[in-house]
């Protein structure tokens, strides 16, 4: 499946370039589309030690981070279906998020200062769980039961786990900082190894654990 979006195909046809690579090089056409308000979701790739991540944002803020384990085609298709098909690869529009992710992975940043668009976080309990998770500091972790309690439903630890698994903005909303009560790392949308890496990077998990 091609990663090219509907808007990209339309712009490519207008610019009469031969393929999607030609579209990426057609800065003038993409810039005009952005200036005219045709682009509702812009995205770019961020290089990280764990692999490339897809970073997407709206005018309101960062809306989606696609982890290396995810299909970026599926991520874009989901954004098109749930928010808007007006999606275009415009890395400059998400440069701030890409820069802060780079600083996080290089060890120069312990908190993100990004505006977030929570349009994909629609359920009240999920919103409460992710809001509580956002308040867990770098280098610390809480349990699923604790995050459920902070979200107002102490017994809903399984539902809290489901809410964390559906987090559309991982790392920035640090769902990797929620672990099992016995100290086990637990599940993660990016895979257990990625969660362990992030917790080691932040110093909560010691090397060799």
What's the number of CA atoms in the CB half-sphere (13 Å) around residue 66?
20
CATH code, residues 124-201: 1.10.10.10
Res 206: pLDDT: 86
Phi and psi torsions of 63, nearest 5°: -115, -20
- List 160, 163, 175, 178, catalytic entry: 175
Q: What is the pLDDT of residues 56-87, one digit of tens each?
A: 999 999 999 999 999 999 999 999 999 999 99
| Residues found in the chain | 209
Q: What is the pLDDT of residues 76-116, one digit of tens each?
A: 999 999 999 999 999 999 999 999 999 999 999 999 999 99
Low-confidence ranges of the chain (pLDDT < 70): 1-37, 208-209
Res 17: pLDDT: 46
Domain assignments of the chain as residue spans, ordered by start: 6-105, 124-201
Res 38: pLDDT: 78
Residue 40 is among the residues annotated as catalytic for this protein: no
Would the CATH topology of 6-105 be identical to that of 124-201? no
CATH fold of 6-105, please? Double Stranded RNA Binding Domain (3.30.160)
């Amino acid at each position: 499946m091609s990663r090219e979006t509907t808007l990209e195909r339309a712009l490519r046809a207008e610019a009469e370039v031969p393929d999607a690579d030609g579209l990426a090089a057609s800065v003038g056409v993409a810039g005009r589309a952005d200036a005219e308000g045709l682009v509702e979701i812009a995205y770019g790739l961020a290089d990280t030690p764990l692999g490339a991540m897809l970073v997407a944002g709206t005018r309101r803020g960062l809306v989606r981070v696609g982890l290396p384990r995810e299909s970026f085609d599926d991520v874009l298709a989901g954004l098109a279906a749930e928010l808007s098909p007006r999606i275009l690869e415009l890395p400059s529009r998400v440069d701030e998020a890409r820069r802060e992710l780079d600083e996080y992975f290089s060890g120069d940043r312990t908190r993100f200062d990004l505006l977030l668009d929570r349009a994909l976080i629609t359920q009240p309990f999920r919103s409460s769980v992710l809001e509580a998770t956002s308040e867990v500091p770098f280098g610390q972790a809480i349990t699923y039961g604790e995050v459920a309690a902070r979200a107002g439903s102490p017994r809903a630890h399984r539902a809290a786990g489901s809410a964390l698994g559906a987090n559309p903005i991982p790392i920035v909303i640090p769902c990797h900082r929620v672990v099992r009560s016995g100290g086990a790392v637990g599940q993660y949308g990016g895979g257990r190894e990625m969660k362990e890496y992030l917790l080691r990077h932040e110093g909560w998990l010691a090397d060799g654990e």
